[in-house]
A = this chain, B = another copy of it.
Amino acid sequence: MGILKVSARSRSAAVAGAIAGVVREHGRAEVQAIGAGAVNQATKAVAIARTYLALDGLDVSSSDLFVDIEVGDEERTAVKFIVEPR
């Protein structure tokens, strides 16, 4: 289903819509962010997506974990948010 990659310049509301759509379609969504600004936007997007999905009767929560990923030749640590119903 792919991973939603969020940057510091991503719009939270737009990402939230994408998260809600993926959760409705696939039952869960994975969101990935690298860096403080991106993690902030991703967290806000998850909070907004919760309100969207609550309207559908879905109570979602997020399991946050660290993942090491390759960006070009560099290894970076990303925060991954797994958003799914409780």
Contact = CB atoms under 8 A, between A and B. Distances in A.
A60 B42 CA distance: 19
Question: Interface extent on A, as a size class?
Answer: 20 to 34
Interface string A57-71: 001111111100000
A79 B39 contact: no
A50 to B, nearest CB: 7
Interface of A: 36-37, 39-40, 42-44, 46-47, 50-51, 59-66, 79, 86
A66 B47 contact: yes
A43 B66 CA distance: 10
Nearest to A41: B36
The 8 A-B pairs with the shortest beta carbon distances in the complex, nearest first, are A36-B40, A61-B61, A47-B64, A39-B40, A61-B63, A46-B64, A39-B43, A62-B62
